Amino acid sequence: MESRYYFSIRYIPERADNELLSGRCISNMHGFLSHERNKQFKNSIGICFPLWNEQTVGNVITFVSTNESILTGLSYQPYFSTMMNEKLFEISDINVVPDDAEEVRFVFNKTIQKIFNGSKKRRIKRAMKRAEDQGRIYTPISIEEREFDLFHAIPISSQSSGHEYVLHRQRQCPMSSEIGQCFNGYGFASNQQWRGTVPFITF
């Protein structure tokens, strides 16, 4: 099997906003992979939160890839270097993933977004517009509440558009020992297309 590599970032401040800092790290990774020279590696880096718990994603984020050089380039991004120089981040060396590491999957679940009022209002507005275009009257009905397993919300800012949004993440344990290496542009798996797994390695 092809070797995998990883490096981790620890947020040093005791009262750090782990979700906010994780979102900034993810945004920088996304921007780095969106650069023309790196686009071929767009779906090759996975993200792990080794200290994930019920309250928070934890104060460590880990980047995993089969390509050691792309991780090296990512680790030297200006944001990471600045935060390290200001003693706000601690960044590990790039290491080889042990063969016996436990595999987990961090999933981007878009369905969770639909339970929040802003999303509901947008969907109702679209439905009313479609009904109006078709000459019908649309009467909004209550949407049944859905329950989800534990998830954390990570705020993200798009470097290209400047828009801000929230990514809802869940942790899953794969049903098999198969290792997946394909992730979406933000380093996560999804419930359908992207099924990448990452090693659950603590800093």
Tens digits of residue pLDDT in 5-33:
999 999 999 989 999 999 999 999 999 99
Identify which has the larger pLDDT, 101 or 179: 101
Q: Are strands 5-11 and 95-96 parallel, antiparallel or unpaired?
A: antiparallel
155 phi and psi angles, rounded to 5 deg: -75, 135
pLDDT digits (tens, 9 = 90+) for 45-58: 999 999 999 899 99
Q: Which residues have CB under 8 Å from 37's CB, separation 6+?
A: none
pLDDT digits (tens, 9 = 90+) for 161-185: 667 777 877 888 765 667 878 898 8
Closest CA relative to residue 187, chosen from 9, 3, 2, 1: 9
* Averaged pLDDT for residues 33-45: 87
Q: How does residue 84 score in pLDDT terms, banded at 50, 70 and 90?
A: very high
Residue 194 has pLDDT above 90, yes or no: no
Question: Would you call 105 helix, strand, or coil by DSSP?
Answer: strand
pTM: 0.79
- Tell me, what's the pLDDT at 144? 45
Q: How does residue 81 score in pLDDT terms, banded at 50, 70 and 90?
A: very high
Q: How does residue 70 score in pLDDT terms, banded at 50, 70 and 90?
A: very high
pLDDT digits (tens, 9 = 90+) for 106-155: 988 766 565 554 555 555 566 666 667 777 655 554 444 444 467 788 88
